[in-house]
Structure 1
Amino acid sequence: MKIELSEYDAAWPGLYQRERERIVAALPDAELEHVGSTSVPGLCAKPLIDMMLVVDDPRDEASYVPALEAAGYRVTVREDDWHDHRILKGPDTKVNLHVFPRGCAQVRRHLVFRDWLRVNDDDRELYALTKRELVARARERERVQDYAAAKREVVLEILERAFLAWRPSSDDVEYVTETPAGDVRITLEDYNPAWPDWYAREEERIRGALGSEVVRLEHVGSTSVPGLAAKPLIDILLVVPDSDDEDAYVPALVEAGYCLRLREPGWYRHRLLKDSDPEVNLHVFSPACEEVDRMLAFRDRLRTNVEDRAEYEAVKRELATRGWERVQDYADGKTRVVERIVLRALG
């Protein structure tokens, strides 16, 4: 299939609006966005309107597909192994309607990329130039997927800059128990095969304390990645029905030996609890939280990709040679490499 690029067409937003009205008539509460190159004024694009629909569960097609089919849409792609992604085609406009679950990190990825290109002239021009060069070199038999794959490196490069600029502030922090600032030294250890056992003991303790309040419990962070050097600290991801409802889980965890360290209401309603034997960071989030998706994507990428694991470890070892005012400053120093690897994981 030959890829054809068109100069930006001022009619594209109107086509999106028409499709939006059609979809909202079928699904009145639809959470819908115009994404892709046709959503960026001044950017050349394939003349195809990409739209993104966010639902609770894309696999529950009965909750949205019949209504869309009645409006003329049809399902053409199902990817249960990739964020439960669906694509529907429109009735008369060239449309790709992408469906993702609420809390999926792909949603933020699409919006950050779009919004960055709308305001950053240099990266918009870089992306346009890359697309034009690829189209000029393309052969007739190349598929749309081949064209998309060829753009991947420049997309990741732009996304890395976009996410570093977008990244939500961590200033909205309420410390419940304080740790004095000072000359913090980071001590990394080679991977210890006992770390999964440490996590298993903590998992048993948490489940025993909370019972059915546990929606999800995962070993995350560097100690969850075989072969990766780490601080001997077990990072645990806990999803509860509502992280703001501390009465439902904090007292039971305190009774089990944890202490509430901090609240970050502006950062995904995050709570952090700690223990010291072994040292544990227990991160608490609510369901349908994109940070949960990102943390698991990062862990799974490091578990399966030797090159990314080596890149991450090299950065950590270099940062560990420095002195830090706070442990958080060391974590902030890893932001760029973490963001890069997460974006590779998301594809």
Structure 2
Amino acid sequence: MNIELADYDSAWPGLYERERERILAALPGAWLEHVGSTSVPGLCAKPVIDLLLVVDDAAGESYVPALEAAGYRMSVQEDDWHHHRILKGPDTNINLHVFPRGCAQVRRHLIFRDWLRDNDSDRELYARVKRELSAREWERVQDYAAAKSEVVLEILERAYLTWRAEPGDVEFVTQDPPHDGPIVLREYDPVWSRWFGAEEARIRAALGDAAVRLEHVGSTSVPGLVAKPVIDILLVVPDSDDEDAYVPALVEAGYYLRLRERSWHGHRLLKSTVPDVNLHVFSPASEEVDRMLVFRDRLRSHPRDREEYERAKRALAARTWDRVQDYADAKTRVVERIILRALA
């Protein structure tokens, strides 16, 4: 199979707008974006218009009947990959990609598009690799797409590190003493999973149905990985800003509220000291929930990524840090690289 690339066509944005109008007529108020190579002026592309549709529940497919009435047809259903759906258009060569709100894939697509729009050198690099690969014979289009993954990850890593959103408006409810010594890493200990199990039971007893989701995250959740012996727990509640609905019950159960980050996904951090627990609280459909779980699952299932992360942790732990957060921030590059691999 030959991959046919076309030079950028100024008609592509118009084709996107036509599809956008048709989709919005079927789904008023829908969140739609033009993504993929046809969304980047000056970039060669297969003449296929990629649209990104973000819905509350991609797997539930409540949006499908309205789209089918408008002439779209379901083409791909991937329940094991972010509940991704692809629909094909009625009269234009399009891929309508559907993802749930809060899925980290959404940001990935938008950052890649915006970076290529603004960065000439990476746009030219991507075009050069695409042309080189399109000159080969491929059994499937997907094989061609997979062959691009290395350059896509290289470009995305630069884009993410430049774009990276910093937590803002941090309000410390309680202050921990500054850390001015080395970071002490421990070999993986199976007791950590038991500690999480005990904390999970304590949280569920305190919150009942208000605990929408509880997950063991962070390094102590990854068998075989060295870690600070701190149990990181992800708690999803109906609304993290509604502290009255969960904070008093958690305080009664032995936690204390350490900080609020209202402008960063509504994040709250509660702590407990025996054992040392970081309880991260988010609302449903927060991208950080997806990112934490994607990172954990990638480390659990890919030994090479786990080893790469451990090497970085050991090297950074050998330094002295004013704050533990500075150590965490220094790991950003390798963390982002591994997340991007998981999202590829």
Could you tell me the TM-score, scaled by structure 2's length? 0.98
Whether the aligned pair in 2 keeps the contact of 1:260 and 1:273 (CA below 8 Å) is yes
- Cα distance in 2 for partners of 1:209, 1:162 equals 41
Give the structure 2 partner of residue 290 of structure 1: 287
Matched, 1:7 2:7: yes
- Cα distance in 1 for partners of 2:247, 2:161 equals 32
Residues 310-343 of structure 1 deviation map (CA, whole Å, 9 limit, x = unaligned): 0000000000000111110000000000001011
Structure 1 residues 167-186: aligned runs within 5 Å? 167-186=164-183
The amino acid that maps onto 1:72 is: G
Give the structure 2 partner of residue 191 of structure 1: 188
The amino acid that maps onto 2:211 is: V
Structure 1 residues 246-257: aligned runs within 5 Å? 246-257=243-254
* Aligned with residue 326 of structure 2, among 324, 329, 346: 329
Q: How many residues align?
A: 344
Give the structure 1 partner of residue 39 of structure 2: 39
Residues 6-31 of structure 1 deviation map (CA, whole Å, 9 limit, x = unaligned): 11111110010001001111111211
Structure 2 gap ranges (5+): none
Offset of residue 168 of structure 1: 1.0
- Cα distance in 1 for partners of 2:179, 2:274 equals 22
Structure 1 residues 269-280: aligned runs within 5 Å? 269-280=266-277
* Aligned with residue 315 of structure 2, among 287, 310, 318: 318
Offset of residue 182 of structure 1: 4.9
- Cα distance in 1 for partners of 2:226, 2:64 equals 46
Structure 1 residues 24-103: aligned runs within 5 Å? 24-61=24-61, 63-103=62-102
- Cα distance in 2 for partners of 1:209, 1:68 equals 43
The amino acid that maps onto 2:265 is: Y
Residues 179-216 of structure 1 deviation map (CA, whole Å, 9 limit, x = unaligned): 23351421000000111001011111101111110000
List 4+ stretches of structure 1 deviating above 4 A: none
Structure 1 gap ranges (5+): none
The amino acid that maps onto 2:58 is: P
Whether the aligned pair in 1 keeps the contact of 2:83 and 2:100 (CA below 8 Å) is yes
Structure 1 residues 224-239: aligned runs within 5 Å? 224-239=221-236
- Cα distance in 2 for partners of 1:203, 1:172 equals 29
Give the structure 2 partner of residue 156 of structure 1: 153
Whether the aligned pair in 2 keeps the contact of 1:48 and 1:94 (CA below 8 Å) is yes
Could you tell me the TM-score, scaled by structure 1's length? 0.97
Give the structure 2 partner of residue 19 of structure 1: 19
Q: CA RMSD in A?
A: 0.9
The amino acid that maps onto 2:331 is: K
The amino acid that maps onto 2:131 is: R
* Aligned with residue 304 of structure 2, among 307, 322, 335: 307
Structure 1 residues 201-240: aligned runs within 5 Å? 201-240=198-237
Structure 1 residues 86-165: aligned runs within 5 Å? 86-136=85-135, 138-139=136-137, 141-165=138-162
Matched, 1:342 2:344: no
- Cα distance in 2 for partners of 1:94, 1:308 equals 37
Equivalent position SS for 1:197:
helix
Sequence identity percentage? 75
Whether the aligned pair in 2 keeps the contact of 1:2 and 1:143 (CA below 8 Å) is no
Matched, 1:166 2:157: no
Offset of residue 58 of structure 1: 1.6
Give the stretch that moved more between structures: 294-303 or 161-170. 161-170
- Cα distance in 2 for partners of 1:239, 1:182 equals 29
The amino acid that maps onto 2:107 is: R
Offset of residue 115 of structure 1: 0.8
Whether the aligned pair in 2 keeps the contact of 1:237 and 1:282 (CA below 8 Å) is yes
- Cα distance in 2 for partners of 1:167, 1:198 equals 32
